Amino acid sequence: MHLPSHLPTLRRAVALLGATLALSLGTLPAHARALTDSESYDYFHDIEIDYAGGMLKLLGSGIDPNLRNDKGQPALILALQSPSPKVAKVLWEARGIDLEATNNAGETALMMAALKSEVDAATALVAHGASVNKDGWSPLHYAATGGNVEIVKLLVAHGAKLEARSPNGSTPLMMAARYGSEDAVDALLAAGADRTAKNDLGMNAAAFAISGGRDKLAKRLQ
């Protein structure tokens, strides 16, 4: 089928339809193939401009959804960080996607969605099986820092550890007390978070609030 050159929109629609059918029918090759230089540019450019159709076409041709950019960022984390929500959705639904892949900072896709307060993304990732717990910094630490109460409640409802400890012993409540919203603080307290716990520096949640200039909140936490 030869489309006139002046119909780029129709071209894209046809490409998107073909790639979508390939994914839905499970016709992706069993083993992802290597990219050409041109495909590598298109792959990360599609993330940058949030072009879901282009990403669908590349994945439909057998490209690995877990590729990393030159800074070690997995494609899904990069899409969530941008943010490029349409491409992120294509990636987390892709066959073979590794939802637990981490970047050089040890962050997972769910942690990035939590930090960016992307409720729909966090909900979808959990529904697709992303782990709500992780040694060291956890998704709940990131949700508490981002301050979105919906994501905090989502993670707690799915078994996130309230007293998860960061490398220096800080808990999600401590992070919420300094960086997050008061709604996030209240949600953690309502779920049973320990306001008296201290990190390796001897700081509790109230001390974290004071360090963030939140004296009124600190008094509530004492």
Contacts of 205 (CB under 8 A, 6+ apart): 171, 173, 174, 176, 177, 185, 193, 195, 197, 221
CATH topology match: 8-97 vs 107-222: yes
Q: What is the pLDDT of residues 59-98, one digit of tens each?
A: 999 999 999 999 999 999 999 999 999 999 999 999 999 9
Average pLDDT, the chain: 88
pLDDT tier for residue 4 given thresholds of 50, 70 and 90: very low
State the pLDDT confidence band at 36, using cuts at 50, 70 and 90: confident
pLDDT of the residue at 33? 62
**Which pLDDT value is given to residue 32?**
57
Residue 63, classed as helix, strand or coil, is: strand
pLDDT of 25 higher than 80? no
Percent of the chain with pLDDT over 70: 85
Q: What's the CATH number for 107-222? A: 1.25.40.20
Of 84, 86, 95, 125, whose CA–CA distance to 108 is shortest? 125
CA–CA separation, 180 vs 187, rounded Å? 11
pTM: 0.83
- Domain boundaries of the chain, sorted by first residue: 8-97, 107-222
Pick the CATH number of 8-97 from 1.10.4080.10, 1.25.40.20, 1.20.1250.20, 3.40.50.1820: 1.25.40.20
Tell me: the pLDDT tens digits for 37-60? 888 889 999 999 999 999 999 999
Residue predicted with more confidence, 16 or 35? 35
